């Protein structure tokens, strides 16, 4: 999956929030100063060529919608950040944010509990999948 530029990411956030819309709908949601119609249209077409967006014809125009879910991109993006900036270590990543944001012990405990719950849930789902589809 290709990395998005800042402008492409800004447009993708609008598409993720809206689900599907035309270029005018994207522009309407962007902060001031609003970019030109042609600029947004060009970025959307670039996103389409990268496989992040598709469109369907509606009247004389197009309605665009995301092909890549926000969670999927977020996961890939964070893995890339972790690999390139934190030697692939989740511990290093959390430590950085804990120090940088001056997290207190309660925030860290809450984070650890959330991660623990998430991992337990993933493990339960994996066990269920394994039971449904035993490998021969």
**How sure is the predictor about 102, in pLDDT bands with cuts at 50, 70 and 90?**
confident
Q: CA 117, 119, 124, 128 torsion: positive or negative?
A: positive
Report yes or no on whether pTM surpasses 0.75.
no
User: Residue 90's pLDDT is what?
Assistant: 81
Tell me the residue range of the domain where 62 lies.
Answer: 6-66
Whether residue 12 is contained in a domain is answered as: yes
User: Residue 36's pLDDT is what?
Assistant: 97
The domain tally of the chain equals 1
CATH number of the domain bearing residue 19:
1.10.10.10
DSSP assignment string, 8-66: HHHHHHHHHHHSSB-HHHHHHHSPSSPPPHHHHHHHHHHHHHTTSEEEEEETTEEEEEE
Whether residue 122 is contained in a domain is answered as: no
Please compute, for residue 39, the number of CA atoms within 13 A of its CA located in the half-sphere on the CB side: 10
* Token pair listed for 56: 């369907």
């Amino acid at each position: 999956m290709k990395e998005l530029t800042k402008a492409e990411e800004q447009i993708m956030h609008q598409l993720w929030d809206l689900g599907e819309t035309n270029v005018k709908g994207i522009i309407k949601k962007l902060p001031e100063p609003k970019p030109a119609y042609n600029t947004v249209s060009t970025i959307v077409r670039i996103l389409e060529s990268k496989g992040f967006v598709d469109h369907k014809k509606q009247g004389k125009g197009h309605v665009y919608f995301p092909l890549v879910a926000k969670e999927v991109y977020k996961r890939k993006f964070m893995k890339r950040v972790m690999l390139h900036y934190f030697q692939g270590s989740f511990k290093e990543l959390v430590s950085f944010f804990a120090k940088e944001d001056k997290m207190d012990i309660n925030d860290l405990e809450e984070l650890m509990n959330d991660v623990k719950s998430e991992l337990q849930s993933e493990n339960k789902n994996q066990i269920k999948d394994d039971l449904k589809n035993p490998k021969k």
